[in-house]
Chain A
Amino acid sequence: MSSTKIPLDLILEKMAEDAEKAQQRVTKASEILQGQLNYEIASTPYEIVYEEDRIKIKHYFRNDNAENKLKAPLLVVYALINRETMLDLQPDRSVVKTFLEGGIDLYMVDWGYPTRKDHFLTIDDHVNGYMNNIIDFIRKKHNVPKINLMGICMGGSFSVMYSALHPDKIKNLITTVTPSSFDTDRGLLHIWMKDVDVDRMIQTFGNIPGDLMNLGFLLLNPARLMIDKYVSFMENMDNKDFVENFVRMERWIFDSPDIPGETFRQFIEDCYKRNLLIQSKMFLGGERVDLKKLTMPLLNFFGEYDHLVPPQACNQLSGAVGSKDVEDVCLETGHIGIYVSSKFQKLFAPKIVQWLKERDKV
């Protein structure tokens, strides 16, 4: 009979050590939490150059004396879920800063906070209305026929639709974690959305509450997002930098505008349920979104471990468009890691700068 080898003395010793460390950590954490903390987000300076209804356009200040300036400005279109501040979350992890340092003249859409009056706005209103007006404004301001367009998540889907409907106004298209093919069961959102009674949701809520969406996102991985994340915070709350960055992320993640009801309805019905976009069968403003008309260069990023928009939802796009200059980039990270993880700060934004530079003179 084999005897059980349990190092009970070592375990108890470790427990005593841990208790002492925890005591010290709590004391230090108390000083940090009660002291001066800087958890400001989106601190890179910008000016608002255009406003329409709830929508604003941010124009970031570029060093005009820089030698490496790109001619064509870049417009970044964020999703209607959460806010564009994610691209400028903290000073040392800012996609915005990398773009500016790379010589990009950067504009960014701030979709604002929809109210009940925005309930009836459709995808057509966002794409052929707001986006078209913004792009015309930037084209006119810079006196250029085409600008560069970059879309994030749902904003990427909008950018794909826009580029297919207005290819004459877009020079290069960059899509990041952008769902275009929805017929997959790899992402939980794709599974859950297939049977959701979207009409009833709109009847009930009008606009889809941001908090409801956030609750849904938390339920995608409660072990990590509702338990482990805060355990990690407790373990590191004596580290001021960690606390500041953690609070920045919390501020961003729970800053969730509502989604206009009709836009949500169309996105779920036409995209998640009927998968019309990738089949070039979707209609906006009476016009078919034909992906074969998307002929400008396309750079398509997605995350291998993205549980919201899995690679299968992103990687069909490059084969469906009419462009001959397409590139897929799959990064070994999740939905948000592409933009905020320290590792991908060196890969993601610099790659976009380089890719745009190569095509700026064409």
Chain B
Amino acid sequence: MADEDKQSPLKEVPFFPFFPWMHTAADMWLNLLKAMPSNPDTSIMTQTAVQSRFTRQLDTSLNLLKSFSRMMSEPESASAAANSFNALPEILMKMAKSGFDAAMQIQNHLVEKAGNIGKRTEVYNFENLDQDVFKALSDVYEKEFRQYFKIPPLGLTRFYQERFNEMLDKHNIFETMLAEFFSILYLPIEKSFKVFQEKLQQMAEEGNLPQEAKECYAIWIKILEGHYISLFKSKEYTDTLHRTLNTLEDFIIVRNRMLEDFLQMLPVVTQKEMEELYKEFHVLKKRVKELEKQLNISPNTLTVVK
């Protein structure tokens, strides 16, 4: 019984019926190869030296396959393989869980914080804004996604890949920052409606409710303007504005670098090359003007139209 088991170890690992199949297939191809005529005069082998190299290569590959299938047919190897394949669903589950966790983290932050935007600040006051939701987004991006863009690329095209990844990274950062900037810009609208409603309520209680929509609009736009003026003078707004501008600039700089890579493949000049030319041109013009001055030649004599 034990011998039987040794002779057919795959009975214990029925999940891998392809190991004996691999073994048989390798044997078949090797036999076929051996059956090929070895006479250099035959039609196949005489064609080119390349074909002969191909046959040798095929021979080596099939021998490797045969060894591999033989090794995999050993009970220890098959058992190890079976274990690893058994663990596959677990690995996949872990990967999926990690992804779900990240998604849930984002969602939780959004649900918790989105409702709070603007709630913690008073009307006409834009200090200590609750922008945690955007910090949460940035954190999630930093922890869960950004590392993929930071993996060092390898090989001949590594610099091109690096610049492309950097562009995607900076674009994502800019998008997050832009969302924060727009949310701040929206705050005065939200707050102005709140003040406007209170004002209308007060007017209604006093019996002075505006009879025309235009009057209501005039009241609201004045409240809105006041809120914007307060916002624009706040340090929070100025900081966000500058950070947005900085992330936009970061993105444009790396995007231009990446575009230069593409342009270099085309028969056109790049921006960098033109900048260098413009600078040289500018310096030369200055020198010519200086020389004109020294020689008492008025530039007007060259440029007057009428």
Provide the bound-state CA to CA distance between A19 and B225, in Å: 27
Contact B207 A49 (CB under 8 A): no
Contact A14 B211 (CB under 8 A): yes
Residues in A with CB closer than 8 Å to B221 are: 223-224, 227-228, 231
Q: Which residue of A lies closest to B233 (CB)?
A: A191
- Choose the segment among B31-39, B69-77, B275-283 that binds chain A (4+ C-beta atoms closer than 8 Å): B275-283
- The B246-273 residues at the A interface (CB cut-off 8 A) are 246, 248-249, 252-253, 271
- Choose the segment among B45-53, B100-108, B150-158, B297-305 that binds chain A (4+ C-beta atoms closer than 8 Å): B297-305
CB distance from B287 to the nearest CB of A (A): 13
Residues of B contacting A: mostly: helix
Q: Which residue of A lies closest to B281 (CB)?
A: A117
Contact A195 B207 (CB under 8 A): no
Render A192-203 as a binary contact track against B, CB cut-off 8 A, 1 for contact.
100111001101
Residues of A contacting B: mostly: helix
Residues in A with CB closer than 8 Å to B275 are: 116, 119, 206
Contact B204 A4 (CB under 8 A): yes
Out of A119, A133, A203, A223, name the residue touching B224 (CB < 8 Å): A223
CB distance from B68 to the nearest CB of A (A): 56
Residues in B with CB closer than 8 Å to A196 are: 242, 245
Is B232 part of the contact surface with A, judged by Cβ < 8 Å? yes
Out of B225, B238, B298, B306, name the residue touching A223 (CB < 8 Å): B225
Out of A52, A116, A219, name the residue touching B303 (CB < 8 Å): A52
CB distance from B157 to the nearest CB of A (A): 26
Contact A227 B224 (CB under 8 A): yes
Provide the bound-state CA to CA distance between A101 and B225, in Å: 40
CB distance from A151 to the nearest CB of B (A): 22
Q: List 20 additional A-B contacts (Cβ < 8 Å) besides A6-B207, A117-B281.
A: A4-B204, A7-B209, A49-B304, A52-B303, A120-B282, A136-B298, A137-B300, A188-B232, A195-B238, A195-B242, A197-B245, A200-B249, A219-B232, A220-B232, A221-B225, A222-B228, A223-B188, A227-B221, A227-B224, A231-B217
Contact A204 B217 (CB under 8 A): no
Provide the bound-state CA to CA distance between A52 and B185, in Å: 43
Residues of B at the A interface (CB closer than 8 Å) are: 185, 188, 204-205, 207, 209, 211-213, 217, 221, 224-225, 228-229, 232-233, 238, 241-242, 245-246, 248-249, 252-253, 271, 274-275, 278-279, 281-282, 289, 298-300, 303-306
Is A10 part of the contact surface with B, judged by Cβ < 8 Å? yes
Residues in A with CB closer than 8 Å to B289 are: 129
Is A140 part of the contact surface with B, judged by Cβ < 8 Å? yes
CB distance from A233 to the nearest CB of B (A): 14
Q: Which residue of B lies closest to A115 (CB)?
A: B278
Is A40 part of the contact surface with B, judged by Cβ < 8 Å? no
Contact A6 B209 (CB under 8 A): yes
Provide the bound-state CA to CA distance between A140 and B298, in Å: 11
Is A51 part of the contact surface with B, judged by Cβ < 8 Å? yes
Render A179-222 as a binary contact track against B, CB cut-off 8 A, 1 for contact.
00000000010011001110011011110000000000001111
CB distance from A314 to the nearest CB of B (A): 20
Known: A5-B207, A196-B242, A224-B225. A203 touches B253 (CB 8 A): yes
Provide the bound-state CA to CA distance between A219 and B238, in Å: 12
**Which A-B residue pairs are the 5 nearest by beta carbons?**
A5-B207, A223-B225, A204-B249, A120-B282, A223-B224
Provide the bound-state CA to CA distance between A222 and B303, in Å: 44
Out of A50, A129, A201, name the residue touching B305 (CB < 8 Å): A50
Contact B207 A4 (CB under 8 A): yes
Is A11 part of the contact surface with B, judged by Cβ < 8 Å? yes
Known: A197-B246, A224-B225. A52 touches B299 (CB 8 A): yes
Known: A50-B300, A223-B228. A205 touches B252 (CB 8 A): yes
Provide the bound-state CA to CA distance between A223 and B185, in Å: 11
Provide the bound-state CA to CA distance between A116 and B256, in Å: 15
Q: Which residue of A lies closest to B226 (CB)?
A: A223
Is A18 part of the contact surface with B, judged by Cβ < 8 Å? yes
Is A48 part of the contact surface with B, judged by Cβ < 8 Å? yes
A-B contact list, 29 entries, CB within 8 Å: A4-B204, A7-B211, A10-B211, A14-B212, A14-B213, A18-B213, A47-B306, A48-B305, A48-B306, A119-B278, A120-B278, A120-B279, A120-B282, A121-B282, A133-B299, A137-B300, A140-B300, A191-B238, A195-B238, A196-B242, A200-B249, A203-B253, A204-B248, A205-B249, A221-B229, A223-B224, A223-B225, A224-B225, A231-B221
Provide the bound-state CA to CA distance between A220 and B232, in Å: 8
Render A325-355 as a binary contact track against B, CB cut-off 8 A, 1 for contact.
0000000000000000000000000000000
Q: Which residue of A lies closest to B216 (CB)?
A: A11
Out of A10, A204, A219, name the residue touching B252 (CB < 8 Å): A204
Is A15 part of the contact surface with B, judged by Cβ < 8 Å? yes
CB distance from B122 to the nearest CB of A (A): 19
Residues in A with CB closer than 8 Å to B298 are: 136
Residues in B with CB closer than 8 Å to A2 are: 205
Residues in A with CB closer than 8 Å to B188 are: 223
Contact A116 B242 (CB under 8 A): no
Provide the bound-state CA to CA distance between A222 and B232, in Å: 11
CB distance from A15 to the nearest CB of B (A): 7
Provide the bound-state CA to CA distance between A7 and B300, in Å: 74
Q: Which residue of A lies closest to B253 (CB)?
A: A204
CB distance from A82 to the nearest CB of B (A): 21
Provide the bound-state CA to CA distance between A40 and B249, in Å: 37
Residues in A with CB closer than 8 Å to B241 are: 192
Contact A6 B238 (CB under 8 A): no
Contact A51 B305 (CB under 8 A): yes
Q: Which residue of B lies closest to A188 (CB)?
A: B232
Interface centre among A10, A49, A192 (most CB of B within 10 A): A192
